[in-house]
Homo-oligomer: A and B are copies of this chain.
Amino acid sequence: MTGNHSNGKTIMTLTGNLFIAGQRRSSDERFQALDPSTDKAIPEPGFAIAEPADVDAACEAAEAAYAIYSNLPLEKRARFLEAMADEIDSLGDTLTERACAETGLPEARLTGERGRTVGQLRLFAQVVRDGAWQGVRIDNADPDRTPPKPDLRLRKVPLGPVAVFGASNFPLAFSIAGGDTASALAAGCPVVAKGHPAHPGTSELVAGAIMRAAEKTGVPTGMFSLLNGTSHELGTALVSDPRIQAVGFTGSRKGGEALMKVAAARKQPIPVYAEMSAINPVILLPSALESRGDALAQAYVGSVTMGAGQFCTNPGLVLAMQGEALENFAEAVGDAIHKAAPQVMLTHGIRQQFGAGKAELSAETNVTLLGEGVAPSNECQSSAAIFRTSAAEFMKNPSLGEENFGASSIIVECDDLDQLQSLLAGLEGQLTAALHMDEADYGMAGKLLPVLEKKAGRVIANGWPTGVEVSHSMVHGGPYPATSDPKSTSVGTLAIERFLRPVCYQDLPPELLPACLAGQGPDGAIRLIDGVWKI
């Protein structure tokens, strides 16, 4: 990638090379970026494929950079994250246009996603400065106790180099400088990113922005590398490298489970934070369904079809009690879905799998196709589909509860609250669970909340699961298989905790204590002193 300035805007020419700790690396063999709206290669020299030596070099550099990067003053680390945001902002349309070409996602969506990406980097800069993430605890010594009580001081330190896998469906917010990278770098962990092969040009542009930010803020370049490739072996080699200490992944259940196996089989097993698979149940309670079924139907179809349904939080399952209100809702959904325009999906593979999933559901006995979107005008588009079945059938047939990634959803009719509760209790873990309700429904909602809390990372009232706020209180997580670790989130500031571990210092002389543990801890940062919280 080379840059020159014209009218104050940086024009980028892609080179297709890897980034290994600030150095560019080429390869003899290269792969092409594909335009999913034509399935044709985007004409350009193509992208270098990382070899085992590249994985080794990137991990070696990350390990070396860890010692320096993890000990930078917090202000410097925060400024680096802000500089990343600035550099990504200054890529402007170059970035969103490239991402459009590689993903088929509309420009407005990608402009929004760029905003989310830089916003999340700036939010993590605040988190770094705040210092609460260090988790400082001090228990002062008591030499007069029998036995004498030692001086104990705890802080959290970064785990070490983190492997981040770019996601196909969020080419910016969950790829090279996305949530996993932002939270790992905020924690003080170097990142070795594996770019998703569906958007290598987008990855290169963002990696270039990271490198420029590192140069401008004087951060060691080894704290970031970008590896590209099209084989599973690359990911396996990266997760197997003994210097890698944690993994961030957003993608399919199959992909996440494969990485979990690799991580568990290491001599030193490491945590994998995989965000994988969910159908995000939405429950329409009777009074709400009665009073505003039409509006719910419009909003439902809007949520299902948004971004061709390629969201982890797509509402794949709608539950309601049988009756006239449900019939009216279903009719309105049928009307709305018939008007839904066909859309380009992220990749040829995703499109094929989505089509196969729809065909399988259509072939199920006791499952009816409520409606399909407008037929595609070419073979590179897909149309949305909404199905319908009974709770008894849904509970009998586990395949109906599996995610079909794309604009597909199933409406399930329940006989009564008991049956609805049984169905929910039998679901696998979910990212979200939503309840549409009026005040008259609160009693029923109160009965459902315990099972929803148990099944999901986020419980939503009167909203749809798509749309994930990046904030302090967000949980984008949930029990298996929504994620591999229900104790974490991959969106929001709590995500930093995935990459930290506590270390206790016993009787260390003040001269040798880390700065944040000196005296009674850092003023202004939340900390626990002799069992009492202080700010």
Answer yes or no: A237 CB below 8 A from chain B CBs: no
CA distance A473 to B461 in the complex (A): 39
Give the shortest distance, in Å, between A135 (CB) and chain B (any CB).
8
Question: Is A268 an interface residue, CB under 8 A from the partner?
Answer: yes
Binds B, one of A171-179, A295-303, A314-322, A503-511: A503-511
Q: Which of A445-494 contact B (CB under 8 A)?
A: 445-446, 449-450, 453-454, 456-463, 467, 469, 471-475, 477, 479-481, 484-489, 494
Q: What 0/1 readout, one digit per residue, does chain A (432-454) give for beta carbons within 8 Å of chain B?
A: 00000001001001100110011
Residues of A65-122 contacting chain B, CB below 8 A: 67, 71
Q: Which of B264, B445, B456, B462 contacts A264 (CB 8 A)?
A: B264
**The one of B459, B472, B509, B531 that contacts A508, using a Cβ cutoff of 8 Å:** B459
Whether the Cβ atoms of A502 and B457 lie closer than 8 Å is: yes
A359 touches B (CB below 8 Å)? no
Pick the contact of A137: B153, B472, B480 (CB < 8 A): B472
Residues of B within 8 A of A486 (CB): 159, 501
Q: Are B512 and A463 in contact (CB under 8 A)?
A: no
Name A463's contact: one of B453, B506, B531 (CB within 8 Å): B506
* Contact residues in B for A485 (Cβ distance below 8 Å): 271
Cβ < 8 Å to B, chain A residues 310-331: none
Q: Is A132 an interface residue (CB 8 A)?
A: yes
Q: Which of B147, B461, B507 contacts A460 (CB 8 A)?
A: B507
Answer yes or no: A535 CB below 8 A from chain B CBs.
yes
Chain B nearest Cβ from A268, distance in angstroms: 4
Confirm or deny: A260 has a beta carbon within 8 angstroms of a beta carbon on chain B: yes
Q: Told that A150-B463, A260-B269 touch, could you supply 15 new A-B pairs with CB distance under 8 A?
A: A139-B472, A139-B474, A147-B467, A150-B469, A152-B471, A157-B453, A269-B480, A442-B511, A442-B512, A459-B504, A459-B505, A461-B505, A477-B502, A479-B501, A487-B502
